[in-house]
Structure 1
Amino acid sequence: MSQIITVWGNPGSGKSMFCCNLAKVLTAGKEKAIIINADSSTPMLPVWMPDRLFDASDSIGNVLSALEINTALVAERVCVLKDYPFIGVMGYSAGETPFSYPELKYEKIRQLILEAAKLVDFIILDCSSHVINFFTPTAIEASDLAIRILTPDLRGVNYLKAHQPLLTDAKFHFEDHLTFAGMARPFHAIDEMGHLIGCLDGLLPYAKEIERCGTSGEMFHALGYCNKHYLQSLKLVKERLQPSEEMILPDDTDGEESSSEDTDEVETDHDFTE
């Protein structure tokens, strides 16, 4: 059974980019990971892989609306990245809307997460910013480690104030979540925002190169442009999940800000059902 990491927070805080960077860090030693995004308002398959054509059969909506969700169905619907074959993704396809499928149900989401967890070492749940979306609270409840990413400004502060009352049940382990300041810039009053939020466990600084990767369909190439503060936040997550192991960066992280240790070349004959 894999470890389940849930990433949630306010809109525009860099959640999806963080999930991509985290997946690359966690699979640098050839472990396997699946990123799951069930936000139908922003189909992610064409964002992760803009050069690939997807149809409804590839969509996570097809899985969540199935009569029965099992390991075989999930494995069949995982889209494996060509350049990073130890990372698979699940999300909605281009052109789909919140009305393309029946309303999400807790039982189906829970089953999807549990079945996916049988396939790989890590499940990364990239959540909608709307906690009233069933996927987000279900993902937080199912997580071994929850990470909330908030912009260090009044948007982030008020987002947290508005959503904290919805997550007071003990099953959400709200006080145990890691909190990162996403899209942090030099003009942000980080110390003041940290005081208002409660505490900040790390920074995910904004960089134009990272933004360019996000807007050009190269989200999985952004890790090389993460500076030491961003890498330290990733390291903290890695330490929480695997305390005895050091963080290894993939050998393609060649950005100016980061340094990496040499790792073995990634194999191309990968199968998530193995």
Structure 2
Amino acid sequence: MNNKPLIVMWGSPFSGKTIATVKLAQALAARRKNVLVIFSDALCPSVASIVPQQVSEQQSLGELLSLPALAQEDLLRYSLALKGSPHLAFLGYKKGDHLFSYADYSRERAVDLLTLARHTADVVLVDCASYVSAYLLSTVALELADTVFRFHTCDLKSMMFYASYLPLLSDARFKHAETIPILSNVKPGQDSRTYSQVVGGIRFLLPHVAELEQQALEARLMDSLPSGKDATAYQEGISHMMGLIVSEDTQKPHQRSVSAANKASIVRWFKGQLWSWRGGRK
């Protein structure tokens, strides 16, 4: 099996990483890409606030990393297949977990996890903790990533955060010069040009969308993007991100219709085996 893309989302706190991760994952899944999203933050676990209706089914990323040995079957067992989204699964810490809930794990274990993920899904998205120095999995993900989307916001705290991490990220193993800077959650009237210059140029913007923020507050991020000018611009940004990950010929939605019964069957199958059937296919 060939390694598939490992995509990392990193940036300052409250820069919209998790929202963008979910919306990018949904866009990729709509193109029939099998997507595994890894939420690496143990202090503020994300899965329970994104799909609260499946919280009782979730197993913890911390427990997975603490297993005596790690195999693909373990990754499949601990990943949460989403109801109604047969091409999408989440892996993260559970509600109530924290940094000391589980035993420490080694760098080799983090590498093993990400390697297994790359051999299992078409695309692996890692929503990194902002404070990567405190989270080994986030640090290793930044080292191994094929693409890193670096998020900034138009405020001084975000700029100071980036300045404090720049010495660490300047290490050659992080390939910082190749990261893709994004100005996120940009509100009307903010001086996006000046802030873009501070971080060395911005590839594109993700505007603030009030309705999208409300989705996050109400644990409805799996809902479709709302309508409106800002939401359209946000979707264009997500499409731009997707274009940097997958080739153009895979970006068009699949046209074949799928019956409701067929969807339920796919979900049951996917929940049991996730993506193991894709081993011999391009």
TM-score normalised by structure 1 residue count: 0.89
2:156 is aligned to 154
Match of 1:66 in 2: 67
Structure 1 Cα separation of the partners of residues 251 and 155 of structure 2: 30
Q: Aligned ranges for residues 79-98 of structure 1 at < 5 Å?
A: 79-98=80-99
Aligned mate of 2:248, from 240, 244, 248: 244
**1:117-266 maps to which residues of 2 (within 5 A)?**
117-132=118-133, 133-225=135-227, 227-245=231-249, 247-248=251-252, 264-265=257-258
Name the CA distance, whole Å, in 2 between partners of 1:264 and 1:149.
36
Point out the structure with the larger helix share.
2
Supply the distance in 2 between the matched residues of 1:221 and 1:48 (Cα, whole angstroms): 10
Check conservation: 1:109, 1:135, Cα contact below 8 A.
yes
Moved more, 20-29 or 241-250: 241-250
Q: 2:12 aligns with which of 10, 13, 16?
A: 10
SS in 2 for 1:183: strand
The 1:85–1:6 alpha-carbon spacing in structure 2 relative to 1, beyond 3 Å, is same
**Structure 1 SS opposite 2:53:** coil
| Deviation at residue 263 of structure 1 after TM alignment | 6.9
SS in 2 for 1:139: helix
Root mean square deviation of aligned Cα? 2.0
- Give SS of 2:206's match: strand
Once the 2 structures are TM-superposed, how far is the Cα of residue 185 of structure 1 from its aligned partner? 0.3
2:155 maps to amino acid = D
* Distance in 2, Cα, partners of 1:173 & 1:85: 34
SS of residue paired to 2:249:
coil
2:24 is matched with: 22
Which of 38, 42, 45 is residue 43 of structure 1 equivalent to?
A: 45
- Is the 1:147–1:178 Cα contact (8 Å) retained in structure 2? yes
Partner AA of 2:232 in structure 1: K
Distance 1:248 1:86 in 2: 15
Q: What is the Cα deviation at residue 11 of structure 1?
A: 0.4
**Against the structure 1 CA distance between its residues 26 and 247, is the aligned structure 2 distance closer, same or farther, given a 3 Å change threshold?**
same
Q: CA deviation at 1:135?
A: 1.9
Match of 1:256 in 2: none
Which range is displaced more, 207-216 or 121-130?
Answer: 207-216
1:66 counterpart letter in structure 2: L
What percentage of residue pairs aligned between the two structures are identical?
A: 22
Structure 1 gaps of 5+ residues are: 251-261
**Structure-2 change in CA distance of 1:156 and 1:245 (3 Å):** farther
Residue deviations 1:2-34 (CA, integer Å, cap 9, x gap): 211000000000101100000011111211001
Query: C-alpha separation between the residues in 2 aligned to 1:93 and 1:33?
Result: 20
Query: Residue deviations 1:96-125, cap 9 Å, x none?
Result: 122101234321111111111111100000
Q: 1:204 to 1:161 in 2, by over 3 A?
A: same
- Deviation of residue 166 (structure 1)? 0.3
C-alpha separation between the residues in 1 aligned to 2:253 and 2:23?
10
Deviation at 1:160, TM superposition (A): 1.2
Q: 1:235 is paired with a residue of what secondary structure? A: helix
Give the direction of change, closer, same or farther, for the CA distance of 1:263–1:128 in structure 2 (3 Å limit): farther
Q: How many angstroms does 1:224 deviate by?
A: 4.1
Task: Give the distance between the partners of 2:150 and 2:78, measured in 1 at CA.
Answer: 27
CA distance in 2, matches of 1:6, 1:85: 22
**Structure 1 residues 38 and 54 mapped into 2: Cα distance closer, same or farther (>3 Å)?**
farther
Cα deviation for residue 248 of structure 1 reads: 4.1
Task: Verify the 8 A CA contact 2:39 2:92 in the aligned structure 1.
Answer: yes
Aligned-pair CA distance for 1:52: 2.3
